[in-house]
Structure 1
């Protein structure tokens, strides 16, 4: 019998805790939406380099493109970029037509395009790498897109800031109404986001003598939270 009593007491205690957690709201409800923001220097930049090739036949366009892209990929690897940080992202072959009024479209050739996405972890090398890609035959460059690799860690800081702002705002409302905060009823996150950065897109014909300048600046991350307070 002695072994049963502690189990019964534990069950009663657990039931009481559950009842306390799900206790109905008896005071005034206040919902506050707040934003937390954090800015960090980026530690990763994404670019892409590719080649667009035109030729009279599909086979010739693909062959010319393959030769040029082989040089582009080799230059990326020679620059010290790990294989895991290089990925083909677009390969296409399209017929090219001439359109004239009152005449059917005339096939004039084919255009092949291919590009690779590259993650550059030494941001200071970005400008030099872009120039190298153009020098070996790349005529399409997209980027740079600056990122924080450990975005979750930075977002956690923004989350804590958002909740602190929500509580401070709730305390302001509570004082103005002659009330106090009893507890937080619910917290929800409406989304974590990185503001989009403009992408540099260009078709390049020749490399400049001076290395392309790249300024990383800072990457801003933000989180919005909705916090429901019970006032008394």
Structure 2
């Protein structure tokens, strides 16, 4: 037992000595800067959040009707060339609805079933046509759309490269102003953002309208996405 305690005591002192030695190490002279890079690109995909909402006198009736419409929507999307991996069920709800919101006090007035899904549309020029077809297939709710770019990693790399160059330019300028020389990189941290573009919300009135407006053009505008990268870099001053 005493031998065990002695070993533990020795380990404690060795650890304490290592920490003190590490804390005693002085950093080299550094210049620390933040660099930013930005890439603007037109989106080539649309993510649609849509759903089916039905009411029935019984829970089973509402569920069956919702499932029937959801199956019709999925079938329609596949016929239009949407890949299986670009169709995903988001959530399903089945709820009794009581008169006046008095939950559990009376018999339900009706039952509500909801099923939502997320669809990635690759062909933006076919979006209006696809949306109109979804309404006919049974969708009665569209919660919103979001624009994105398929090869986002390529643009992230481009933004990162710009951020690094920006950081190096800043560090070079600072050191040269002080008559010093910029040395090797000591530390670097990076963060990025996919950015975003306009996210219009669609109402059912728009779905019921024709695929094109009175001017004969598309009803959505993708705008542009801003992809950014930020780097924090420390350089050794020589």
Deviation at 1:104, TM superposition (A): 4.1
Match of 1:48 in 2: 49
**Equivalent pair of 2:52/2:115 in contact (CA under 8 Å):** yes
**Structure with greater proportional helix content:** 2
Match of 2:86 in 1: 85
Deviations 1:55-112 (A, max 9, x none): 12101111211222222222211212122221222211111122379x9465211110
Picking from 200, 218, 223, the partner of 2:224 is 218
Query: Tell me, which stretches of 5 or more residues in structure 1 are unaligned?
Result: 1-23
Match of 2:109 in 1: 108
Aligned counterparts of 1:45 and 1:99: Cα–Cα separation in 2: 39
Match of 1:160 in 2: 161
Aligned counterparts of 2:40 and 2:55: Cα–Cα separation in 1: 44
Deviation at 1:165, TM superposition (A): 0.3
Aligned counterparts of 1:165 and 1:40: Cα–Cα separation in 2: 20
Match of 1:7 in 2: none
Q: SS at 2:135's partner residue? A: helix
1:54-73 aligned at under 5 Å gives the runs 54-73=55-74
**Aligned pair 1:94/2:109, yes or no?**
no
Query: Could you say if the C-alpha distance between residues 123 and 157 of structure 1 is closer, same or farther in structure 2, counting changes exceeding 3 Å?
Result: same
Match of 2:8 in 1: none
TM-score (norm 2): 0.78
Q: SS at 1:113's partner residue? A: strand
Deviations 1:132-154 (A, max 9, x none): 11122211113321112221111
Aligned counterparts of 2:160 and 2:107: Cα–Cα separation in 1: 59
1:113-132 aligned at under 5 Å gives the runs 113-132=114-133
Match of 2:233 in 1: 227
Aligned counterparts of 2:176 and 2:38: Cα–Cα separation in 1: 26
Match of 1:175 in 2: 176
**Equivalent pair of 1:99/1:106 in contact (CA under 8 Å):** no
Aligned counterparts of 2:235 and 2:76: Cα–Cα separation in 1: 58
Query: Tell me, which stretches of 5 or more residues in structure 2 are unaligned?
Result: 1-25, 213-217
What is the root-mean-square deviation of aligned Cα atoms in Å? 2.4
**Equivalent pair of 1:51/1:140 in contact (CA under 8 Å):** yes
Deviation at 1:188, TM superposition (A): 1.2
Match of 2:209 in 1: 208
